[in-house]
Amino acid sequence: MADNLVLEGVSKKFGNSYAVKKVNLEIRDGEFLTLLGPSGCGKTTTLRMIAGFETITEGTITYRGKVLNNLTPQQRKFGIVFQSYALFPHMRVDENIAFGLKMQKYPKDNIDSRVDELLGIVGLEKAKKKYPAELSGGMQQRVALARALAPNPDVILLDEPLSALDAKIRVKLRAEIKQLQVKLGVTMIYVTHDQEEALSISDRVVVMNQGVIEQVDVPVQIYKNPKSEYVADFVGSNNFCEGRLESGKLNIEGKPYKFKLNYDSSLESKAVTAAIRPERIEVVNGVDTSKMESGNILHGKLLVYTFLGLIVRMIVDIGDKKINVDVLEKNFSRMNVSNGDKVDLYLPPEGFITFLKE
């Protein structure tokens, strides 16, 4: 606990508007924590306040029991990796990595050995004497990471470091960053708008919305048990419907179907939004449905399907609504359905998540 980085009631105002409002967050020593959300949600502003690039309007940031509010970025001694790499174009790779160490007046022998060590860690030994313009985007980002690691910081801050890279390189490099974090045991705070990226590499994810935290949890819980409709909508895909819960069923005004749901009894007789993820919906063409909840069976028409590798995304028209359904590609091949064909769907009660409608 004593080594943790703690934000207490941290806010940032620009004029009369809050960019970040009363954020309370404890980043555990040695964890990989991601701030996730769309543009303008406050994630980068939060990171910049931790780094010292933005002043804090309200609240306190402490690290290892020391208040950071009035310390400069240099005094905080956190490593920082930017989206734009921010490498010096006139310096070679080794010189870029060594720059911060020279500014801190490390002995030359120590600098040389540290640079060689880091080049080995990020796999760029052969690029030591090259200039940034001679490197790919992925290699440049490795250099930026090595430079941030050079002074042995206890915390590394990464602001959308992979967003400028091609998709395949992003996947490879994010795995390398996670492996490096585990190997070194360093605390990493990572900012991204990419939900897949956040879920794949984080120990915990902080989902932000309009300057406030919606949920903090491990990735699997963020996905399976979102605490708000916003999180359910932003992370992954969901099918939503609104209605009132009555005797264990969702009564949707003006609709013929009433879905049976598993839900907290405290929501009885209240207006709610119910959500079900595409992979929880079953295609039951030709299947015995006698033991299924009859009110949870829908009949529709396949509008279009999209091949996504492991899965196939089906868009099914049920008359007044279009539903997304994900099935494994191998299962879809056995269904023998095409665009325009009849499709029967089953929405299991346990597949729904319900949120009190505000």
User: Tell me: the pLDDT tens digits for 173-209?
Assistant: 899 899 999 999 999 999 999 999 999 999 999 999 9
Whether the CB-CB separation of 43 and 191 falls below 8 Å is answered with: yes
Q: What is the pLDDT of residue 254?
A: 77
Share of the chain above pLDDT 70, in %: 99
The residue with tokens 């191998």 is 330
**pLDDT at position 323, please?**
96
Sort 110 into a burial class: Cβ within 10 Å, 0-12 / 13-18 / 19+: exposed
Residues 207, 224, single domain; the answer is yes
- What is the DSSP-derived secondary structure letter of residue 53? S
- The span from the first CA to the last CA of the chain, in angstroms, equals 36
β-pair partners for 27: 5
284 phi/psi in degrees, rounded to 5? -120, 30
pLDDT in the model for residue 12 = 97
**Packing angle between helix 167-184 and helix 137-149, nearest 10 degrees?**
20
Same domain for 219 and 246, yes or no, is no
pLDDT tens-digit map of 13-44: 999 999 999 999 999 999 999 999 999 999 99
The CATH number for 299's domain is 2.40.50.100
- The answer, yes or no, to whether residue 357 has pLDDT greater than 90, is no
Residue 7 has a pLDDT of 98
- Both 153 and 291 in one domain: the answer is no
339 or 163: which carries more pLDDT confidence? Answer: 339
- Give the pLDDT of residue 308: 93
Same domain membership, residue 254 and residue 194: no
What pLDDT was estimated at residue 1?
58
Average pLDDT over residues 288-308: 94
Residue 77: give the domain boundaries: 5-233
221 and 351 together in one domain: no
Domain final residue pick, 211, 233, 255: 233
Q: Give CA 245 to chain center in angstroms.
A: 32
Question: Stretch 308-337: mean pLDDT, rounded?
Answer: 94
The last residue of one of the domains, among 212, 233, 254, is 233
Residues 22 and 44 in one domain: yes
- Smallest CA-to-CA distance from 349 within 234, 231, 261, 220 is with 261
The residue whose two tokens read 């934000």 is 7
Q: Which helix (H) or strand (E) holds 310?
A: none
Tokens matching residue 61: 């940031």
**Percent of the chain surpassing pLDDT 90:** 78
Query: Over the Cα atoms of the chain, what is R_g?
Result: 25
Contact present, 281 and 347 (Cβ < 8 Å): yes
Question: For residue 351, what pLDDT band results from cuts at 50, 70 and 90?
Answer: very high
Side chain identity at 73, as an amino acid letter? Answer: P
Q: What is the mean pLDDT of residues 240-257?
A: 87
Mean of the pLDDT values across residues 63-84?
91
Q: Which residues of 170-179 are buried (b: 16+ CB within 10 A; e: fewer)?
A: beebbebbbe
Q: In terms of domains, do 200 and 311 share one?
A: no
Both 319 and 183 in a single domain? Answer: no
Residue 320, pLDDT score:
84
Examine the pLDDT at 81 and tell me if it is beyond 70. yes
Domain CATH for 69 = 3.40.50.300
Q: State how many domains the chain has.
A: 2
- Specify whether 145 is located in the same domain as 274: no
Same domain, 217 and 89: yes
What pLDDT sits at residue 165? 82
The pTM score is: 0.91
Task: Look at residues 178, 205, 233 and tell me which one is the last residue of a structural domain.
Answer: 233
263 and 185, same structural domain?
A: no
Average pLDDT taken over every residue of the chain: 93
Q: Which residues contact 24 (CB under 8 A, 6 or more apart)?
A: 7, 8, 9, 10, 213
Range 330-347 average pLDDT: 94
Task: List, for residues 208-230, the tens digit of each pLDDT value.
Answer: 999 999 999 999 999 999 999 99
Do 87 and 132 form a contact (C-beta atoms < 8 A)?
A: yes
Do 70 and 206 fall within a single domain? yes
Higher model confidence: residue 9 or residue 141? 9
Q: Is the model's pLDDT at 2 over the cut of 80?
A: no
Distance CA(156)–CA(90), nearest Å, equals 25
Q: What does each C-alpha distance from 72 to 33, 75, 144, 157 come to in angstroms? A: 23, 5, 21, 15
Pairing of the two strands 79-81 and 155-159: parallel
Determine the Cα–Cα distance for residues 333 and 320; give it in Å rounded to an integer: 27
Highest mean pLDDT among 132-136, 250-254, 260-264: 132-136
Residue 257's pLDDT is what? Answer: 78
